[in-house]
Amino acid sequence: MKFHQAVLSFVFVVSGFALSVLAQTPPPPDPATQSKKSDTGKSQEKKAEETPSYQSLVERLKKNDRTVDFRQLRVAYSETEGFSPYGTDREGRQKMFAALSEKNFGQAAEQAEKILKDKYVDIYAHFVAARAYGELGKADKSEFHDFAFNGLIKSIMGTGDGKTPEAAFFVIAVEEEYALLDVMGMKVRGQSLIRKDGHSYDLMRVTDSQTGKETEFYFNIDRVFGQMDKLLKNKN
């Protein structure tokens, strides 16, 4: 992750992404909490019918629909068969970042697109695609993937401030924790599993790469453990 962090931190500062604006965004309801609220009768059936599928949300986004709810997209992906709470295609990701580092932007974009074909919520892939297409002079594609990258990051930051378990950042996979911390310019120093009030959290101890200040952030990983339980049940 150190290589990813160095690349992200540098380009993130250059792009002028406004973290201060994100910090002021009112936190929307946590999907993990919402999922526990049950409706009854027809209202429950109607709600299920109105919930868009992951594939339908991806198609809307690909058509440049800027109204797509990225948090909803991430949660929808976590309910697909191909979802893994610990990420996928590590080899492809390494090739992608290596190509970007070597300024082989065509290959970097190609690798990013391969990852996105199976996982359109991959934050790192959208980041690399935006940078690579920008260098290749394909402004429209660069801007689109930058929009997707920002949308995914905002959808995590909008769930809380991470300072307490009650205001934890909601993530669907462990790699989202590291992606967000990379974007925030934080270096991970330690990680602990916390259980509280029926929920599971990753407590990440980090250091600000600019100021050296140490702090902690909580991540709600109920979705991660939920998927792990499903995998264990299927094996048994």
Task: Check whether 122 has a pLDDT greater than 90.
Answer: yes
Q: Which of 39-53, 110-124, 137-151, 153-167 has the lowest mean pLDDT?
A: 39-53
Residue 201 lies in a domain: yes
Give the DSSP letter of residue 84.
-
Task: Check whether 126 has a pLDDT greater than 80.
Answer: yes
Domain membership of residue 64 as a residue range? 2-15+50-235
Select from 200, 216, 218, 183 the least CA-distant residue to 1.
183
Number of domains within the chain = 1
Q: What b/e readout covers 109-121, taking b as 16+ CB neighbours within 10 angstroms?
A: bebbbebbeebbb
* Distance separating alpha carbons of residues 61 and 68, to the nearest angstrom: 6
- pLDDT, tens only, 194-233: 999 999 999 999 999 999 999 999 999 998 887 655 544 4
State the pLDDT confidence band at 25, using cuts at 50, 70 and 90.
very low
| Per-residue pLDDT, 227 | 63
| Per-residue pLDDT, 89 | 76
Average pLDDT over the chain, rounded to whole? 82
Residue 69 burial (10 A CB sphere; 0-12, 13-18, 19+): middle
Residue 25 lies in a domain: no
Residue 42 lies in a domain: no
Classify 209 as helix, strand or coil: coil
- pLDDT, tens only, 89-102: 789 999 999 999 99
Can you tell me the mean pLDDT for 68-89? 88
Distances in Å between the Cα of 36 and the Cα atoms of 145, 158, 177 are 33, 20, 23
Task: Determine phi and psi for 81, rounding to 5 degrees.
Answer: -65, -30
| Per-residue pLDDT, 90 | 84
Q: What b/e readout covers 74-104, taking b as 16+ CB neighbours within 10 angstroms?
A: bbbbbeeeebbbebebeebbebbbebbeeeb
Is the whole-model pTM more than 0.75?
A: yes
| Per-residue pLDDT, 87 | 67
Residue 23 lies in a domain: no
Task: Determine phi and psi for 191, rounding to 5 degrees.
Answer: -145, 135
Looking at residue 61, its amino acid is L
Task: Determine phi and psi for 68, rounding to 5 degrees.
Answer: -60, 135
* Distance separating alpha carbons of residues 220 and 162, to the nearest angstrom: 9
| Per-residue pLDDT, 82 | 84
Which residue would you say has higher pLDDT here, 79 or 37?
Answer: 79
| Per-residue pLDDT, 3 | 43
| Per-residue pLDDT, 131 | 97
Residue 59 lies in a domain: yes
- Asked if 112 and 89 touch (Cβ cutoff 8 Å), the reply is no
- Asked if 204 and 231 touch (Cβ cutoff 8 Å), the reply is no
User: Could you count the other beta carbons within 10 Å of the beta carbon of residue 208?
Assistant: 13
* Distance separating alpha carbons of residues 179 and 153, to the nearest angstrom: 8
| Per-residue pLDDT, 175 | 92
* Distance separating alpha carbons of residues 219 and 125, to the nearest angstrom: 22
Residue 31 lies in a domain: no
Residue 230 lies in a domain: yes
Residue 176 lies in a domain: yes
